[in-house]
Amino acid sequence: MNRRLVKNVLFWSCFLIVLPALYVGHLDVFVDHPGLKLSSTWNDYGFLCWNMITNAPVNGSISNVGGPLKITMNGPRSAGAIVAAQRTEDLPLEIPSDGYLKVSAKASSINVAVRIVIWTDFEHPQNVLVKTYNDNEWHVEVVSLPFFRLSGNISMIELSMMQLNNSTSDEWVLYKELSFCYLEL
């Protein structure tokens, strides 16, 4: 009796687990599909037309040496301090209604947040990302713009760092591979 039960359990395990896993693993053989990918409609990989702003009393700097945009904070680093790089020139003419913002970012510590703001006009900023990382590696962020009801024209893109608590250590955030994309099948 036990031997027959074991055989049945093995048969149904194979039927319910192994065969579907093999089918999904080899789906491209059975169904012709190109897959999903993000296609860029506008990108800025050189970070050449960015201006810096800060909220008092903090000082900061931005640089694009070697490609990535580096934002650093100097002076008293108290909670709520922001150093931002803003771009108003040569922005995309229109954001696709089903578009995505894609950027890679990394930060020096959990004391600072990567912060991205999109301005539809100079009175209406929309925070689309405020995030800390617990490591010093690159993180690819893909932000769905329809979720924030962002489409049409934009006035400014702001990439910034935000100090979350008082700190005396050097703090920085790096950005690279900024682009507006849409999902392509």
76 and 96 both lie in a single domain: yes
CA–CA distances in Å: residue 167 to residues 66, 106, 170? 27, 18, 8
9 and 97 both lie in a single domain: no
84 and 6 both lie in a single domain: no
28 and 81 both lie in a single domain: no
Residue 29 has pLDDT above 70, yes or no: no
43 and 95 both lie in a single domain: yes
- pLDDT grade for 34, boundaries at 50, 70 and 90: low
Residue 62 has pLDDT above 90, yes or no: yes
Most confident range (mean pLDDT) of 5-14, 73-82, 130-139, 142-151 is 130-139
**CATH number of domain containing 109:** 2.60.120.260
Distance CA 123, CA 139 (A): 30
The per-residue pLDDT for 105 is 97
Structural domain boundaries enclosing 158: 37-184
Strand order of the sheet with strand 112-121? 51-54, 82-87, 156-163, 112-121, 124-131
pTM score, whole prediction: 0.78
The per-residue pLDDT for 110 is 92
Domain count of the fold of the chain = 2
13 and 50 both lie in a single domain: no
134 and 83 both lie in a single domain: yes
Quote the tokens at residue 64.
Answer: 């694009």
Give the closest residue to 159 by CA, choosing from 66, 79, 41, 50.
50
78 and 10 both lie in a single domain: no
